[in-house]
Amino acid sequence: MMKIITDQMNTIGQRSPMIYGQFIEHFHRQIYGGIYDPGNSLSDEEGFRKDVLEALRAIHVPIIRWPGGCFVSSYHWKDGVGQVRVPYFDKAWRVEESNAFGTDEFISYCRKLGCEPYICTNAGTGTAEEMSDWVEYCNLESEGRYAGWRIQNGNPEPYRVKYWSIGNENYGSWEIGAKSAEEWGRLVTEAAKMMKHVDPLIELSAAALTDLDWNINLLRQSGQFLDWISIHQYWDQIHETNKPADYPAVLAFANHTEDAIRKVKGLLMAMGLEKRIKIAFDEWNLKEWYHPKVHTIEQGVSKEEYLSPRDGNDDNSLYTMGDAVFTACFLNALNRNCDVVGMANFAPMINTRGCIFTYPDGIVLRSTYHVFYLYTNYMGDIVKNANCLEMEKITVYNHKGEEETVDMLDVCVTEFSAGPGMAVAVVNKSPEDFVEVQFGFEADGAVKGYYICGKNISSYNDIAHADVSVLEEDLGIYKKDMTVRLRPHSVEIFRIGC
């Protein structure tokens, strides 16, 4: 029998609530028809969907990254504020952008939600000066043209946006205004100087990846200005096909949730920066977004080739217990690496591959939403070192058809800084088997379990179709070496003495 143990004197660290952050971009129906839907009877006086706000409050969203994503690399923020909003053609996603939702609307949304805004700047076609002007608009009290413009637009108090990112994936050939490693380090340095001259209290990240040369150039040139290093990953790369990996391949992806974190952490340690710069994993999801014939040299010509297919992201049957299992494994990984990962942003939070789906008359909470609900409501914030003895294994075939061996369970053990008790997250990856596990650690009090599993690995939620939800059960008083029975393909959190 597998047995979970933890040395309660051995703490990894205190995780930031920002690892449960979200991301939203001007793509398909994330903004328009997603969070922002003026004229809908479900929207408030500002055009924000009230049902979406309520669902996001229930998962305690701590921070939202906006406006992109690829979109931002040709976005000029000044066109999206003020009384006159002129539409333009978004060259990243090849659609007209109305500019109806801009900086003021984003800040208002974050304030209503009670979360931190995280603004990603245009480092593609934009300039260091344009980025610093944006900081002026948001954070200066009244000095200069741009603070005055904010006041003129009806916002007398500064927004005090703390978190800013210089660029998005500017290392990639698909990105408008892509840069070489040398060009990138120089631009980040100049942008950071200007932005911190406007407001020295802001925290800056810059686009990076697990490439050694790119990161060394960036950190050598700009490390003194940075508080964060930004990395992204989508494991199931299906932007041209919309054909997701099967459940065994998803388990193989879950074998690699920490690979990028370890590589970047190792580089930060090698350069002596791990105490000063943290990782912002500020775009992540199992599935890539579906947008065929856009980020390719050969572009789609008709809208039926490149635009209409994006509706395929709205097929709710794609978001199954496989997505839930992977998401929980990644959240466990973020917790276990809380000493170096201080922020993460699920991409996106709504529609496309998001955890919430909207339609004119309501919303659907996908399986991944319920994972966030479990972790933000029931997990602790003090992360402990934990081991699972006699770990059983599963043999699977990954998306390349190669054989991999996967741990059957993924475990994270936490305590609470605000009071007594423990919370243990356990993911049973087995598609069909119940698994018995012992808790071999000291604890006191009643045990309550919260879980999601669905009827099978393909369970999903849709309009008038709800297979996946959070369930709970009382398990009595805790005794050391008590045994719990895990359901197949399940995400379960056990709270003890809380």
Q: Are 447 and 478 in contact (CB under 8 A)?
A: yes
Beta bridge partners of 461: 466
Q: Say how far apart CA 290 and CA 313 lie, in whole Å.
A: 6
pTM of the model: 0.97
- Are 482 and 357 contained in the same domain? no
Q: Among 355, 378, 401, where does a domain finish?
A: 378
Q: Does residue 335 sit in the same domain as residue 226?
A: yes
191/227 same-domain check: yes
Last residue of a domain, one of 344, 378, 412: 378
> Which residue positions in the chain have pLDDT lower than 70?
none
Please give the pLDDT value at position 487: 98
Q: Which residues of 277-305 are buried (b: 16+ CB within 10 A; e: fewer)?
A: bbbbbbbbbbbbbbbbbbbeeeebeeeee
pLDDT at 297: 80
Instruction: List the CATH number of the domain containing 452.
Output: 2.60.40.1180
The count of C-alpha atoms lying within 13 angstroms of the C-alpha of 66, restricted to the half-sphere facing its C-beta, is: 24
> Contact at 8 Å (CB) between 403 and 397?
yes
Task: Check whether residue 349 and residue 476 sit in a common domain.
Answer: no
CATH number of the domain encompassing residue 177:
3.20.20.80
Q: CA quadruple 214, 161, 196, 228: dihedral positive or negative? A: negative
pLDDT at position 61 = 98
Instruction: Clarify whether residues 176 and 281 are in a common domain.
Output: yes
Residues 221 and 239 in one domain: yes
- Residues 257, 406, single domain; the answer is no
Question: Over the stretch 288-299, which tens digit does the pLDDT of each residue have?
Answer: 999 999 987 889
Distance between CA 43 and CA 183 in Å, rounded? 44
| Phi, psi for residue 250 in degrees, rounded to 5 | -60, -40
Q: Which are the contacts of 212, defined by CB distance < 8 A and separation ≥ 6?
A: 267
What total number of domains does the chain contain?
Answer: 2
Does the annotation count 45 as an active-site position?
no
Catalytic residue among 25, 97, 116, 169: 169
Tell the burial category of 89 from Cβ atoms under 10 Å away from its Cβ (0-12, 13-18, 19+): exposed
Query: For residue 393, what are the domain limits?
Result: 2-9+382-496
- Tell whether 159 and 249 lie within a shared domain: yes
> Are residue 174 and residue 296 in the same domain, yes or no?
yes
How many residues are given for the chain? 498
Q: Which residue has the tokens 């388990």?
A: 251
DSSP codes of every residue in 3-44: EEEEEEEEEEEEPPGGGGEEE--SSTTSTBTTTB-TT-TTB-
Mark whether 441 and 374 lie in a shared domain.
no
List pLDDT tens digits, range 452-463. 999 999 999 999
Q: Rounded to whole angstroms, how far apart are CA atoms 357 and 191?
A: 36
Alpha-carbon span 264 to 209, nearest angstrom: 8
- 191, 185 Cβ separation under 8 angstroms: no
- Catalytic-labelled residue, pool 283, 288, 404, 492: 283
Listing DSSP states for 241-299 in one string gives T-----HHHHHHHHTTTTHHHHHHHHHHHHTT-TTT-EEEEEEEEEEPP--TTTSSSS-
Q: Is 169 a catalytic residue?
A: yes
End-of-domain residue from the set 378, 397, 424? 378
